[in-house]
Chain A
Amino acid sequence: MDKMPKWADVILTPLISLVLAMAISALVILAIGESPVMAMKTMVEGALGSSYGWGFTLYYATNFIFTGLAVMVAYHASLFNIGGEGQAAMGGLGVALVLLYLPLPHWAIALPVAMIGAAAFGAAWAFIPAYLQAKRGSHIVITTIMFNFIAAAALNYVLVNKLRPVGSMDPASARFPEATHIPALTDLAAGLGMTWGKNTPVNITFLVAIAACALVWLLIWRTKLGYEIRVLGKSEPGAVYAGISPVKITVIAMLISGGLAGLMAINNVMGESERLVLNAVEGAGFIGIAVALMGRNHPFGILLAALLFGFLYQGGGELALWTSIPRELIVVIQALVILFTGALDNMVRMPLERLFLSMRRTKGGAK
């Protein structure tokens, strides 16, 4: 069983996967006649070289933390939730309805209320796939994919036919009331007498996301519910034997997962666009899969992986701006990360295990 030390499993395998993904991306960049070194430089400068770049990097990272945590919680119950995209979109609808129709005098009140709205709508969108998986055995991967498309169609309908202000051509809701705008981190920095991240969308949701990481860690490893989720994930017969109801835990784990994905809307809908627009999620739900895999389904790993993808996302935007490399490069990197950390995990792991085994043997021989 113990072929590798834990640190190698937790740190080395994702790092090697990342290096492999980066190396192949570099080859792709070379193949289209651009310089990978220049590309990396542009990305680092654009994403991390200024407080402006950091502001965007952290904004994107906030989205990915939520969707990554969503994938992670489901994953611990051995459920593969690819529905983060639809759940986050529905979370946006929850935020919009709360902010447009409830009279909320101040952002400090609006924020928790909007969070409840976002989480409730995201969780509700995860509920049907969860229930069908638990009760009827319908494969959750397929149903969550289908629900992504249904969510997109439903939002399209609601935005065009219901929420669109009279006279507007744009399929988007009205702007949220001024009082409900949450402070951006640049405002907080200004309050402390610093100029940081002017005109960047990163807002206090970033702090909420950090708190969410800590809470999810507590939930999974320090509560009875988290224990039950992990038991179910390891072995369903084991869970049944221990008196844990698979139906109940499946549904609860998916509700939490959907709620976390929905919470992303606080960042992009309430914090950034301040109204609900079409396709507000922009693929963040799917990036959550890469983030969770890369972060080894641990909140701290997810935080780091989300920062990495925030960097890639912002850097990719800069790349498209300054070079002839389109921003789809990051989609390729994202695909390779998913491929190497998720599907080709054994390809990375097997040679490593062999290496450690032979190292241990030579050590044993020397004694």
Chain B
Amino acid sequence: MKIKDSLIALIVLGICLIWAFVDGSAAEQGIGSALRLMTPLLLACLAGLYSERAGVFDIGLEGKMLMAAFTAASVAYLTDSAWLGLLAGIGGSLALSLVHGLASITFRGNQLIAGVAINFLASGLTVLVGQNAFGLGGRTPALTGAGRFQPINLPFAETLRDVPVIGPIYSGLISGNTILVYVALLMVPVTWWVLFRTRFGLRLRAVGENPASVDTAGVSVTRLRYAAVAICGILCGIAGAYLATGLSAGFVKEMTAGRGFIALAALIFAKWRPWQALFATFLFGLLEAIANLYPNLDLGFITIPSMFMNALPYILTVIILAGFVGRAIPPRAGGEPYVKER
């Protein structure tokens, strides 16, 4: 990794250190909250990474996550099992992935328009079905007990509590999260390994850069792209399930609240790479946590309103896209349907 590439990581680390120095306990609380807020962003961002690396643009991450959150919360409530909820979440998201695949791979339609349609489909269907099933104006009933993913205390979390520096980091931040947080973090090295160290990953990246060459090598472009879109669906499904059964206790209308687009922003910020995706989503999670903790952040010389913090991920992405701070170049064949015979 070059210095320039680790810039985001350095910025994130800097913010955390300054925060811990200024107000240690608030920082522990805030960074812990950032970790939880990051989780759906990271999963959705990696989901988009698979899809877009294979040349299928996906602005439907938001819709897939929303649908997954709804199906996960509904099934978790009906069966009182967060795990069955997770499966249902993945199923709901995969169904939309199939629509996306059909439109953008099989019928060679416009991938962006398909994404827009998927977002609206999820936003409408979740409320329509939810209102019909539960009659709570689009909500699902609140989840309790086994219907939610519970925090896991890692070994020695209590004994290490009072050790300086390591204690707050290990017991306060790393321990005590739900399993899906660890799954999301684990997905980063897994994604890196799959994309850059396996044959499947090489082909997947090739299909996003130059599908004709993959086709010439006798590998099916269609099958690879469907595989990528399916992985994208699974990860969005976990992200949505985490939102509804981990981060909160049930589904609320429009509960993704633009997270799919922040994940998309993070993907561009990370220049379509997994480790950078971790830092980018953590940065955006941190911004959200700061905006939640300090509605009006007083820096002494200037007061920053929370609206600005909320808009910051989008502003940063536009700046990155503009190419003033390192250029973000998407996969070359992204957005173009592959036509086998001319």
List A residues at the B interface (Cβ < 8 Å).
Answer: 28, 32-33, 80, 82, 128, 132, 136-139, 141-143, 145-147, 149-150, 153-154, 156-157, 160-161, 286, 289, 293, 324-326, 328-336, 338-339, 342-347, 350
Q: How far is the CB of A236 from chain B (nearest CB, A)?
A: 15
Complex Cα distance, B62 from A82, in Å, reads 15
Name the one of B116, B119, B258, B318 contacting A132, with C-beta atoms under 8 angstroms.
B318
Whether A326 touches B318, Cβ cut-off 8 Å, given contacts A149-B258, A342-B110, A344-B107, is no
Closest partner residue, chain B, to A131 (CB atom): B322
Residue pair A331, B123 in contact (C-beta under 8 Å): yes
List the A side residues contacting B310 at CB < 8 Å. Answer: 153
Given the known A-B contacts A138-B323, A145-B59, A161-B305, are A346 and B109 also in contact in the complex, defined by CB atoms under 8 Å? yes
29 contacts between A and B (CB under 8 A): A80-B113, A82-B112, A82-B116, A132-B322, A139-B330, A142-B59, A142-B264, A142-B317, A143-B321, A145-B264, A146-B318, A147-B314, A149-B311, A149-B314, A150-B318, A153-B307, A153-B308, A160-B307, A326-B127, A328-B131, A331-B120, A332-B121, A336-B117, A339-B114, A339-B117, A342-B117, A343-B114, A347-B109, A350-B107
For B311, list chain A residues within 8 Å (CB).
149-150, 153-154
Contact between A286 and B120 (Cβ–Cβ < 8 Å)?
Answer: yes
Complex: chain A residue closest to B106, CB-CB: A347
B residues less than 8 Å from A345 (CB atoms): 107, 109-110
Residues of A within 8 A of B59 (CB): 141-142, 145
User: In the complex, A336→B129 CA distance in Å?
Assistant: 16
Flag if B128 contacts A328 (CB, 8 Å): yes
Interface presence of B124 (CB below 8 A): yes
> Which of B97-105, B184-192, B233-241 makes up part of the contact surface?
B97-105
Contacts of B107 in A (CB 8 A): 343-347, 350
- B140-154 with Cβ < 8 A to chain A: none
Rounded to whole angstroms, the CA-CA distance of A138 and B319 in the bound complex is: 10
B292 within 8 A of A: no
Whether the pair A339, B128 counts as a contact (CB closer than 8 A) is no
Nearest CB on A from B83, distance (A): 26
Contact B112 A32, beta carbon cutoff 8 Å? no
- Complex CA distance for A286 and B116, rounded to whole angstroms: 9
B318 — which chain A residues lie within 8 A by C-beta?
128, 132, 138, 143, 146-147, 150
Q: Which 3 residue pairs across A and B have the least CB separation, nearest first?
A: A331-B124, A335-B120, A342-B113
CB atoms of A335 and B129 under 8 A apart: no
Contacting B261 at CB < 8 Å: which of A145, A333, A343? A145
* B112–A80 touching, CB < 8 Å: yes
Q: Are A336 and B132 in contact (CB under 8 A)?
A: no
Cross-chain contact B113 with A338 (CB below 8 angstroms)? yes
Give the shortest distance, in Å, between A338 (CB) and chain B (any CB): 4
B138 in the interface (beta carbon within 8 A): yes
What's the minimum C-beta distance from A233 to chain B, rounded to whole angstroms? Answer: 14
Contact with A along B297-321 (1 / 0, CB 8 A): 0000000010110110011011001
Q: Count how many chain B residues have C-beta atoms less than 8 Å from C-beta atoms of the other chain.
A: 47
A132-B124 CB under 8 A given contacts A32-B132, A293-B113, A339-B117 = no
B118, CB-defined interface residue at 8 Å: yes
- Given A141-B59, A326-B128, A345-B107, 14 more A-B residue pairs with CB atoms under 8 Å apart are A28-B128, A138-B321, A142-B268, A150-B314, A156-B307, A328-B124, A331-B127, A335-B121, A335-B124, A339-B99, A339-B121, A343-B113, A344-B103, A347-B109
Residues in B with CB closer than 8 Å to A128 are 318
Measured between beta carbons, the chain A residues less than 8 angstroms from B68 are none
Task: Give Cα A335–Cα B125 distance, bound, in whole angstroms.
Answer: 10
- A126, B317: Cα distance in complex, Å: 16
Known: A33-B132, A142-B264, A328-B138. A334 touches B307 (CB 8 A): no
Bound Cα distance A335, B123 (Å): 9
Asked if B108 lies at the interface with its beta carbon under 8 angstroms from chain A, I say: yes
Q: Once the chains bind, are B138 and A326 in contact (CB under 8 Å)? A: yes
Q: Residue of B at shortest CB range from A350?
A: B107
How far apart are the CA atoms of A28 and B128 in the complex, in Å? 9
In the complex, B249 has a CB within 8 A of chain A = no
- With A147-B318, A328-B127 in contact, do A157 and B307 touch (Cβ < 8 Å)? yes
Residue B265 lies at the interface, judged by CB distance under 8 Å to chain A? yes
- Distance A128 CA – B322 CA, assembled complex (angstroms): 10
- What's the minimum C-beta distance from A157 to chain B, rounded to whole angstroms? 4
CB distance from A152 to the nearest CB of B (A): 8
Q: Please give the distance in Å from B330's CB to the nearest CB on chain A.
A: 7
B103, B118, B124: the one contacting A329 at CB < 8 Å is B124
Least CB distance from B140 to A in Å reads 15
**Residue on A nearest B309 in the bound complex, by CB:** A153
List residues of chain B with CB within 8 A of the CB of A326: 127-128, 131, 137-138
Complex Cα distance A347/B110, Å?
12
